[in-house]
């Protein structure tokens, strides 16, 4: 090969290699550019607005699991990819919400439809006042059912407007349910005034008398034989009798409630539990005319935390043992509570003649503000002057009062332990109890009767009446309970 030929071949090879290298560089550059400058998906400028709820069809034979037939002349709505709960708006079932029309049938229809659907919501929307009569919302239902009140829910106005065929002992009843929530931003208004003024109520008869009964008044909300319940966020007020009651339930969580009735409204307990276990009550404010929270027989594992009571009759265990009955209560804790302007603070009350026991009770970090009977155990509870001492009593044991501080009403001693003559109270522990008069002079004579316990620290006022050790006559096995 000549010199000129070799030069031409070499030049051609160099050119060919340059072209190949440019192709490789362009290929790498293209891949990198595509990854770096991939067009992003559009994003909203702010948080996305939730899709509107998927409403259930109104009554007419269609259940939420069925396709909704389109109205004549209208196209069927596009299927929604919203995975939220199915909403059963009571106004779609005929509820008027003007405060006077009877909306009971609409609520019952919405409930029956929602009951068949998992995680459904029965919804009472805002800007309405729904009047319904005494109703039992019964199960069993699919799990996750929510009864959400964002408007106002109210019963008929007083006994004269109460239907004769309805029970006068209860208004809203939730029965045989599991995994159910009652919540909302609305108000459940009890219209209690006309019930409180009945002449059979204390001192409401002629010249301040109390006429004989019957004197039935409805419990505003009752949960019966149900489990895994949540009640939260509502304002509940002016109940004819108890505001909310749990009876025969298991697994209850109550929080962020506002319960309110006048100071002199009779028998208007805020929250009452009986025959109910595993209860948590917290972050709530209660003002009423009777016990702020009352714990009846058959209760165990109840936790109360961050609750403000007052005016009220305080936090009570009891009354227990009425009509010689057996009462068993155990493992109750009250922490971080405030009780103010109340007739009682922390109270255990039992009738003479009962049996059973109250054990494992802890009151810890409670602030008192102008409270009469701040700390009280009363085993002579009676509603008349005809009660007689009896040889049997509910056994009260293992009760601790720690970090109880504040002010008391000087009309009564701030500490009062009146235990049974025959069944002494035992295991009473006092630690960091400091109670001073709200106004007036210091009352320095706490009362004890047949009460055994210890002081871990000096109390104010001093309590020197606790007995040491254990009484010889007590056999704990005799008063044992099985819950």
Q: How far apart are CA 452 and CA 428, in angstroms?
A: 6
CA atoms within 13 A on the CB side of 422: 11
Q: Catalytic residue at 128?
A: no
CB 220 within 8 A of CB 242: yes
Catalytic residue among 269, 290, 291, 398: 290
Catalytic residue among 313, 343, 378, 409: 313
Q: Rg of the chain's alpha carbons, rounded to an integer?
A: 34
CB 442 within 8 A of CB 459: no
Q: Coil, strand, or helix at residue 94?
A: coil
Q: How far apart are CA 92 and CA 59, in angstroms?
A: 8
Q: Catalytic residue at 127?
A: no
Q: Coil, strand, or helix at residue 183?
A: strand
Q: How far apart are CA 77 and CA 282, in angstroms?
A: 43
User: CA of 472: how far to CAs of 22, 173, 355, 424, 448, in Å?
Assistant: 104, 47, 19, 10, 18
Q: How far apart are CA 82 and CA 61, in angstroms?
A: 24
Which positions ≥6 away from 76 have C-beta within 8 Å? 67, 68, 69, 70
Q: CA quadruple 317, 318, 324, 327: dihedral positive or negative? A: negative
Q: Coil, strand, or helix at residue 166?
A: coil
Which positions ≥6 away from 372 have C-beta within 8 Å? 342, 343, 344, 408, 409, 411, 412
Catalytic (active-site) positions: 290, 313
């Amino acid at each position: 090969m000549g010199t000129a030929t070799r030069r031409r071949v070499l030049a051609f090879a160099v050119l060919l290699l340059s072209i190949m290298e440019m192709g490789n560089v362009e290929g790498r550059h293209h891949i990198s550019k595509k990854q770096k400058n991939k067009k992003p998906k559009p994003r909203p400028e702010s948080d996305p607005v939730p899709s509107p709820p998927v409403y259930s069809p109104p009554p007419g034979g269609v259940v939420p699991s069925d396709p909704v037939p389109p109205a004549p002349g209208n196209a069927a709505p596009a299927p929604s990819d919203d995975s939220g709960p199915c909403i059963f708006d009571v106004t779609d079932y005929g509820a008027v919400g003007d405060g006077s029309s009877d909306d009971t049938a609409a609520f019952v229809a919405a409930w029956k439809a929602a009951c068949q659907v998992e995680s459904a919501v029965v919804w009472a929307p805002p800007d309405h006042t729904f009047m319904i009569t005494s109703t039992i919302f019964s199960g069993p239902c699919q799990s996750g059912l929510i009864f959400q009140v964002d408007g106002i829910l109210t019963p008929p106005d007083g006994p004269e407007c109460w239907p004769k065929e309805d029970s006068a002992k209860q208004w809203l009843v939730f029965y045989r349910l599991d995994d159910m929530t009652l919540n909302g931003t609305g108000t459940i208004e009890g219209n209690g005034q006309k019930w409180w003024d009945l002449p059979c109520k204390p001192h409401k008869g002629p010249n301040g008398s109390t006429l004989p009964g019957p004197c039935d008044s409805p419990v505003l909300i009752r949960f019966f034989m149900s489990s895994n319940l949540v009640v939260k966020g509502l304002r509940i007020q002016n109940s004819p009798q108890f505001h909310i009651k749990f009876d025969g339930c298991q697994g209850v969580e109550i929080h962020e409630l506002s319960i309110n009735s006048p100071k002199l409204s009779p028998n208007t307990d805020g929250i009452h539990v009986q025959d109910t276990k595993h209860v948590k009550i917290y972050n709530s404010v209660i003002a009423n005319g009777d016990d702020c929270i009352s714990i009846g027989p058959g209760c165990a594992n109840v936790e109360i935390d961050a609750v403000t009571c007052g005016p009220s009759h305080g936090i009570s265990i009891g009354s227990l043992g009425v009509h010689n009955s057996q009462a068993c209560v155990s493992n109750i804790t009250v922490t971080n509570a405030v009780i103010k302007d109340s007739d009682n603070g922390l109270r255990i009350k039992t009738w003479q003649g009962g049996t059973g026991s109250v054990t494992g009770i802890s009151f810890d970090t409670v602030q008192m503000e102008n409270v009469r009977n701040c700390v009280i155990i009363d085993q002579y509870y009676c509603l008349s002057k005809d009660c007689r001492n009896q040889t049997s009593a509910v056994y009260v044991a293992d009760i601790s009062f720690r970090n109880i501080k504040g002010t008391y009403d000087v009309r009564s001693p701030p500490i009062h332990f009146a235990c049974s003559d025959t069944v002494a109270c035992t295991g009473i522990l006092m630690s960091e109890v400091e109670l001073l008069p709200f106004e007036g002079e210091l009352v320095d004579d706490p009362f004890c009767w047949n009460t055994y316990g210890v002081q871990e620290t000096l109390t104010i006022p001093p309590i020197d009446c606790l007995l040491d050790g254990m009484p010889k006559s007590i056999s704990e096995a005799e008063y044992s309970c099985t819950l």
